[in-house]
C-alpha cells in the first residue's frame, strides 16, 4: 500500500479581501492574448470565480502578492470593478513562490521564454542547482540550459555542475624525420 503524502489544502481557507490590497508580482512570465483574456472574462461571467487567487501575505506592507491568478485579478479589476476578490495564502520564500508561479503556469499553458530565462537565472544566482530548478519547475535539464543561454553564458553557468566525464591528457604526436 502506498503511503499517503502530507498535502496541505489552502483552498479550504478562501477569504475575501479588498482588491486594493492585492498586487501583481514582478516576475510572472505568463502572458495571455486578448482573445484568451476575453474568454476568461466570459468564463467568470458564466461560472463565477471557481478558483481563488493564490497569494503570499506581505506582512510589513499589509498586502497580498499574487503567486497565481493574475489574470483573474485583472478581470476583477478591469472588467468587473469588484471591491473584493477570493484569495488563498501560501507561506513560501521568494524562490519557492517563483517556482510555484511557474508550476501553475506550466500546468495550464505557455509563457514567454525571455521572462522564463530571467527566472531561471535568478534561481541559479540564488544558489539553486540545475537539478533543483528542473525538479521544482518541471523542466528537463536541456531546457534549463537553453534558458540560461538566453541570459548570457558566464553568469548563468556560474553554479552549473559540469560532468566529470572528460579528462585532460597530453597528446603525443609522431613527427617523422626528414629522412623518412
Q: Which of 17-31, 58-72, 124-138, 146-160 has the lowest mean pLDDT?
A: 146-160
Average pLDDT of every residue of the chain? 83
Query: What are the DSSP calls for 84-117, one per residue?
Result: EEEEEE----HHHHHHHHHHHHHHH----HHHHH
**Same domain (yes/no): 69, 149:** no
111, 88 contact by CB (below 8 A): no
**Rounded to two decimals, what is the model's pTM?**
0.65
Does the pLDDT of residue 114 top 90, yes or no?
no
**Same domain (yes/no): 123, 87:** no
Range of the domain at 153: 112-160
When comparing pLDDT for 79 and 163, which is higher?
A: 79
**Same domain (yes/no): 117, 106:** no
**Same domain (yes/no): 30, 90:** yes
Most confident region among 95-104, 119-128, 163-172 by mean pLDDT: 119-128
Does the pLDDT of residue 64 top 90, yes or no?
yes
Q: What is the CATH number of the domain that holds 66?
A: 3.90.1530.10
- Which of 12, 6, 26, 176 shows the shortest CA–CA distance to 97? 26
**Same domain (yes/no): 104, 84:** yes
**Same domain (yes/no): 86, 58:** yes
- Which of 86, 116, 80 shows the shortest CA–CA distance to 98? 116
**Same domain (yes/no): 75, 99:** yes
Mean pLDDT of 38-60: 93
The distance of Cα 179 from the centroid of its chain, to the nearest Å, equals 68
Q: Is residue 3 part of a domain?
A: no
Confidence band for 110, pLDDT divided at 50, 70 and 90:
low
Confidence band for 96, pLDDT divided at 50, 70 and 90:
confident
**Same domain (yes/no): 103, 119:** no
Q: What is the pLDDT of residue 173?
A: 57
Amino acid at each position: 500500500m502506498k503511503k499517503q503524502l502530507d498535502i496541505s489544502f489552502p483552498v479550504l481557507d478562501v477569504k475575501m479581501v479588498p482588491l486594493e490590497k492585492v498586487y501583481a508580482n514582478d516576475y510572472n512570465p505568463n502572458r495571455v492574448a486578448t482573445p484568451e483574456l476575453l474568454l476568461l472574462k466570459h468564463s467568470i461571467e458564466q461560472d463565477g470565480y471557481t478558483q481563488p487567487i493564490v497569494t503570499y501575505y506581505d506582512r510589513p506592507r499589509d498586502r497580498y502578492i499574487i503567486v497565481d491568478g493574475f489574470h483573474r485579478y485583472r478581470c476583477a479589476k478591469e472588467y468587473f470593478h469588484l471591491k473584493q476578490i477570493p484569495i488563498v495564502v501560501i507561506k513560501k520564500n521568494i524562490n519557492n513562490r517563483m517556482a510555484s508561479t511557474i508550476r501553475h503556469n506550466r500546468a495550464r499553458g505557455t509563457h514567454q521564454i525571455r521572462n522564463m530565462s530571467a527566472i531561471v537565472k535568478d534561481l541559479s544566482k540564488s544558489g539553486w542547482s540545475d537539478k533543483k530548478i528542473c525538479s521544482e519547475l518541471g523542466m528537463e535539464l536541456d531546457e534549463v540550459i537553453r534558458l540560461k543561454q538566453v541570459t548570457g553564458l558566464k553568469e548563468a553557468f556560474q553554479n552549473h555542475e559540469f560532468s566529470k566525464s572528460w579528462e585532460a591528457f597530453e597528446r603525443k604526436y609522431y613527427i617523422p624525420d626528414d629522412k623518412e
